């Protein structure tokens, strides 16, 4: 969808730009040489047809500045995104509209996504929009947890992570990151867990509402809140296994990143499908510019003014 819109803007900018240039040249030519054709030689019907055609083409040409500005801003500067799921709760909620800074990690070709100008690299803790490494046409948003060279271990029981920096270079865990977790508290965020009612002859699905626990995760003095749902357990075999590595342990390759959602028990991220290449990075999420009070696949019921502002 993102590439389709970009391609539409590019084609629209090109064609309207051609008409815009044509009429600017024509205006200059008429001004300089006073070269106008004699409409008296044409029948009234043909004169009207020419006027209608000119009006239509001039109208198309008038859209060029709009298409051009939108294409430049959206492709190279800022692009709006909507949060469709709860994988980044409590940081980002369903119904949040965010602005993504496209030049944070390099100026890229909007069609091929090849880097044209290098700028900065992602930092640990950044919230990043990226192309899914398997389904390239789908944009995901997660938090950067592991940088190139990191060794990451995930504890399936307490759902904590451990990180060793520069493991690819040092081949040891001397450079460990400080990671601290606060005590868990019950949050206002809830998740529906569906069960099959075997006692019912129709086998209807019933659900129970469970509240997430909220706690503060501190990674190398960078603090953010995460959600855990202790009633949810994932089988070890469901996690991504890196070649020549035990399951639940990963070494981040060069020019790739390990991403995780803040809603740890409701996020499909690098724990399940692996690493995100640097070329897949779209940009850094920097601000919430609008937030509608809504649930997934439901219509909004209001506006959350208090959520508008910077993202942490």
Tokens of 258: 């390990």
> Please, what sign has the CA dihedral across residues 297, 303, 309, 312?
negative
Give the closest residue to 132 by CA, choosing from 142, 144, 122, 120: 142
Among candidate residues 102, 108, 131, 142, the one labeled active-site is: 142
Q: How far is it, in rounded angstroms, from Cα 37 to Cα 41?
A: 9
Exposure string over 171-208, b if 16+ CB within 10 A, otherwise e? eeeeeebeeeeeeeeebebebeeeeeeeeeeeeeeeee
Active site residue 142: yes
Tokens of 168: 């690819």
Q: How far is it, in rounded angstroms, from Cα 242 to Cα 253?
A: 10
> Please, what sign has the CA dihedral across residues 228, 229, 235, 240?
negative
C-alpha distance from residue 108 to each of 23, 65, 68 (Å):
32, 22, 17
The percent helix, strand, coil of the chain (3-state, each to 5) is 30, 35, 40
> Please, what sign has the CA dihedral across residues 88, 94, 100, 106?
positive
Contact criterion met (CB below 8 Å) for 251 and 270 = no
Among candidate residues 75, 87, 270, 291, the one labeled active-site is: 87
Active site residue 85: no
Reported as half-sphere exposure (CB side, CA atoms, 13 A), residue 85 has a value of: 14
Q: Which residues are catalytic?
A: 87, 142
């Amino acid at each position: 969808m993102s590439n389709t819109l970009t391609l539409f803007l590019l084609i629209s900018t090109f064609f309207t730009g051609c008409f815009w240039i044509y009429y600017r040249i024509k205006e200059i030519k008429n001004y300089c040489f006073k070269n106008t054709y004699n409409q008296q030689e044409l029948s009234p019907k043909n004169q009207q047809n020419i006027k209608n055609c000119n009006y239509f083409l001039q109208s198309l040409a008038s859209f060029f500045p709009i298409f051009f500005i939108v294409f430049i801003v959206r492709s190279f500067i800022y692009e709006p995104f909507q949060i469709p799921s709860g994988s980044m709760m409590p940081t980002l909620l369903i119904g949040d509209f965010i602005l993504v800074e496209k030049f944070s990690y390099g100026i890229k070709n909007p069609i091929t996504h090849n880097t044209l100008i290098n700028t900065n690299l992602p930092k640990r803790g950044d919230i990043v929009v990226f192309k899914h490494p398997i389904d390239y046409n789908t944009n995901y948003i997660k938090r950067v947890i592991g940088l190139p060279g990191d060794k990451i271990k995930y504890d399936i029981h307490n759902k904590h992570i451990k990180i060793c920096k520069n493991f690819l270079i040092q081949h040891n865990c001397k450079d460990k990151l400080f990671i601290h977790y606060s005590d868990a508290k019950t949050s206002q965020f809830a998740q529906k867990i569906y069960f099959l009612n075997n006692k019912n002859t129709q086998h209807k699905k019933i659900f129970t509402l469970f509240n997430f626990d909220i706690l503060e995760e501190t990674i190398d003095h960078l603090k953010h809140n995460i959600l855990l749902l202790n009633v949810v357990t994932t089988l070890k075999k469901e996690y991504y296994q890196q070649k020549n590595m035990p399951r639940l342990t990963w070494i981040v390759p060069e020019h790739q990143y390990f991403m995780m959602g803040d809603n740890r028990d409701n996020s499909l991220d690098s724990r399940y499908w692996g690493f995100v290449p640097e070329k897949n990075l779209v940009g850094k999420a920097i601000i919430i510019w609008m937030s509608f009070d809504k649930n997934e696949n439901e219509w909004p019921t209001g506006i959350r003014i208090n959520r508008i502002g910077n993202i942490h």
